[in-house]
Each structure stands twice: as C-alpha cells, then as structure tokens.
Amino acid sequence: MLNNALFEEYRYFNYKFPDPQYLGAKIHFLPWIAQYLPDNVNTALDAFAGSQSVSYFFKQLGYRVIANDFLNFNNQIGIALVENTHEQLDRNDIELLFEKSPNKSEYTLMGNVFTGIFFQKEDAEFIDNFRANIPRLKNRYKQAIALATMNRSLTRKITMGHFGHTQALVYANNPERVKRNRSLIRPIKDIFLELLPQYNDAVFDNEQENRSFNENILDLLPKLSNIDLVYFDPPYCNSHADYQGFYHLLETYTEYWRDKQFVNGIKRYEPQRYSGFDKKSDIIQSFHKLFELSDFIPNWIISYNNRSYPTIDTMVDMIKPFRNVRVEYKTYSNSRGGKGSVAGSSEILLICTK
C-alpha cells in the first residue's frame, strides 16, 4: 500500500521545470541542495532567483515561496511558474501574439538596435510585433508566460545562449555550427511553439500564496517577515557575475526601454542597474548588509564557488557573528560555462544555522 505521507510530499514532482540555458543555474544541483534543507519549512525565500529553478523546486516541495531577482526577465519566469497557479496560453492567445499588432509602430526597438547584431531583419521585426501584442493578453500571468517563453526562445537562437558576444550571425552562417545547432537558423516563431508546451505544462497550484518580486534583495528584506529558510545564490564575483552584460538583450526586451542608451558592439543598455553584488568594490559591504538584514530568518543556505571573491574563509568569517556555518563542497567534473564552473573548480554550499 502506498505511503500517503510520501505521496503528499512528492505529488508536485510530476511537473517539470523547463530546462534553462542560464549561466549559474542550479537545476543540476537540486538533489545536492535538497540534502541540506531543514525540516519544518513553511516559507522559503529564494533571494537571487535567476533562472527560478530553485524557487520552482521549493514550490514542488510544497513550501510557500517568495522568489526575487533584480532583473525583470528572471522575475517574469517567477510570475509565470512560481506565482501562477493555473493560467496557460491557449490557441486564441497564440493567434493574438502572432497577428499584426495595432501597436506595432510603437514597438521597433529590437529591429532598430539589434538587427545585424543578433538577428536578421525579419526575426527582429517578428519579436517586436510579438512584444507589442503581449500587453493585449488578459492578465499578468499569461503575459509572463509569453515573455518567459520568448526570452528562452531567444537564447536558443543564439550560440552559447547569451548576448555577451557579437558572433551570433557569424555562427548562423557557419555550416559546421548550424550542423551542431539547427536553432541558429530556425524561425523564432517555430522555436517558441516548440517550447511553449513545456511552460504551459509546468504551471501548477501547490495551494500556497507564492510571490515573485523584482527588487534588489537589500531593499526587499526589510519588507518581509515569517520566513523559515533563505537560499542565497548571489552572482559569483570574479567569475560570471555580469548577468546584465550576458543577458542585456532579454532585459531590454522585457522592459522595452524607452530611456536607455545602447553602447558598444553588443548594444548593452546604459546605465545598468545597481546590484551591489557584482563588483569587488561593493561586494564585502553588500554581504555584511545582507547578513544583518537576514538575521530574522533562522536557516540560510548560500551557494558559492571556490573561485569567487571574497574567499570562502572570508565568507565564513562574515557569517560567524550571525550563524553557525559549515562548508560543503562539490567539484565540477566538466565545464558548464563561466570561470566559476570549469572542470576542477568547486561549487560550495554554506549551511548556516542558529
């Protein structure tokens, strides 16, 4: 006879998080992280949610989840798959997104800025028109699914899955590259239609009031209370910390900037948002403030890396005034992109308890 308690604990694991293509995503580390989760967690905060794979995992565990990321394109994944309980994109929504928009003349940013860098003219015009139609969807959850799925489609279209280089169209015209990755020459519309069922099917209700925020975590923490566990996965300073540089196009597409300058070869937006966690000059002070503001949360788990700044020893010393801390290591056997995840480097978990 099935153990009902066991069934209850795992009943949400029939749902699958869409595979991310995101530097630093922790989806492959979830079983390892799960070993160190404390008992009796009701509410969990994922403070630097990124791809949202950990937030989604917490949702599957039945926690009330508070997800946060200071980049809005990541927040849209959280709205679509963590906060959302039932909304999906149906056939009528898809037809609306693909039809010629009555607002098309107001949405020319991708064509004007990124044609000839990341996209051919037809693709750029298609995604501009698609973006113009998103506000016409009837609620924020449908809009978030459309944005999250399209943003993922754009990373599929670009070699290496990020926008920190200017080789996208060069690779798309290289038969050897195309042979390894047909998405380089596929229409974005086809990629979107292929991915959409994964996002629709990932939507579920875990009977909790989950929320996704788009704030600097140092601003959000003072507004929160009654949290049992916080998971910190900050940018690995001195490694692949410049998420605004790597994914600038997705943030530009999501925010649809009207007041930014677009600079250098990749047309990154300026000014960038201030995080406090991606530059050596800021990071120590930011961690001190982060730990002070999190003192009301009894359990902390911090993902880190042995190639990051500050060092593991410095991190432990900063945590000790607030928590007991132990360090767990997991060595990369092969590279996953970025200096911090090359073969031989170590992923770190700092387990911090009262």
Predicted confidence (pLDDT) at residue 6 exceeds the cutoff of 60? no
* Percent of the chain whose pLDDT exceeds 70: 94
What does the pLDDT look like over 321-343, one tens digit per residue?
Answer: 999 999 999 986 544 444 444 45
Averaged pLDDT for residues 155-184: 91
Q: What is the mean pLDDT of the chain?
A: 93
What does the pLDDT look like over 135-149, one tens digit per residue?
Answer: 999 999 999 999 999
Q: Is the entire prediction scored with pTM above 0.85?
A: yes
Of 211 and 4, which is predicted with more confidence?
Answer: 211
Averaged pLDDT for residues 155-182: 91
CB 340 within 8 A of CB 305: yes
What does the pLDDT look like over 107-138, one tens digit per residue?
Answer: 999 999 999 999 999 999 999 999 999 999 99
Second CATH level (architecture) for the domain 1-85+214-241+277-354:
3-Layer(aba) Sandwich (3.40)
Q: Which pLDDT score is estimated for 344?
A: 61
Q: Which pLDDT score is estimated for 9?
A: 66
What does the pLDDT look like over 257-275, one tens digit per residue?
Answer: 989 999 999 999 999 999 9
Q: Which pLDDT score is estimated for 181?
A: 86
Residue range(s) occupied by CATH 3.40.50.150 in the chain: 1-85+214-241+277-354
